[in-house]
């Protein structure tokens, strides 16, 4: 084999490997990610827990609560959105509240892509704080449970 052929084959190999590595990196960074706050349900009855999950979901769907979350977390600026209504619509689409049986906890947070993990980590606690404050105001048992967890 001549030196020219070997150089061309080497260059092609580098381009293929570099392109593959860039493709894998881009694919991984655009993968779906969830970041949230986990609220352990140790010692809570299943009926009570399910009621709290439903109540969290109802609270998170209220327009006033969504506006408060957008204001408190600076959601609009962190996610680079134009206008408060766009931020509320985006937050509504991304926010997830679910019970995780393996962890025996309620998770409250956001879905996004891996590129946004830092922003999601900043916003998720604010979602929990606003929703938990509203729920604690409406439900004495949750207020007692929540204050007990902080101690």
Q: Which of the two residues, 27 and 58, has the higher pLDDT score?
A: 58
Smallest CA-to-CA distance from 56 within 148, 150, 145 is with 145
Bridge partner list, 110? 35, 95
Q: How many domains does the chain have?
A: 2
Q: Tell me, what's the pLDDT at 31?
A: 74
Segments forming the whole domain that contains residue 115: 32-150
User: The whole model's pTM is what?
Assistant: 0.74
Q: Is the same domain home to 10 and 82?
A: no
The pair phi, psi for residue 61, each rounded to 5°, is -90, -10
Name residues whose C-beta falls within 8 Å of residue 111's C-beta, 6 or more positions apart in sequence.
32, 33, 34, 94, 96
pLDDT tens for residues 52-82?
A: 999 989 988 889 999 999 999 888 888 888 8
Q: Is the same domain home to 66 and 18?
A: no
Q: Which of 24-28, 103-107, 114-118 has the highest mean pLDDT?
A: 103-107
Q: Any idea what the Cα angle at residue 113 is, between residues 111 and 114, rounded to 5°?
A: 115
Q: Is the same domain home to 21 and 43?
A: no
Q: Is the same domain home to 101 and 131?
A: yes
Q: Is the same domain home to 77 and 7?
A: no
pLDDT tens for residues 77-106?
A: 888 888 889 999 999 998 999 999 998 899
């Amino acid at each position: 084999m001549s030196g020219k052929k070997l150089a061309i084959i080497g260059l092609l190999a580098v381009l293929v490997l570099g392109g593959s590595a860039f493709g894998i990196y881009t694919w991984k960074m655009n993968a779906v990610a969830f970041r949230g706050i986990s609220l352990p349900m140790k010692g809570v009855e299943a009926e009570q827990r399910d009621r709290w999950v439903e109540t969290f979901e109802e609270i998170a769907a209220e327009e006033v609560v969504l506006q408060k979350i957008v204001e408190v977390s600076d959601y609009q600026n962190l996610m680079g959105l134009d206008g408060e209504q766009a931020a509320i619509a985006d937050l509504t689409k991304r926010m997830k509240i679910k019970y995780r049986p393996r962890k025996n906890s309620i998770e409250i947070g956001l879905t996004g892509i891996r590129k946004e993990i830092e922003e999601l980590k900043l916003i998720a606690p604010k979602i929990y704080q606003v929703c938990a404050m509203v729920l604690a105001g409406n439900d004495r048992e949750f207020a007692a449970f929540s204050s007990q967890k902080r101690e």
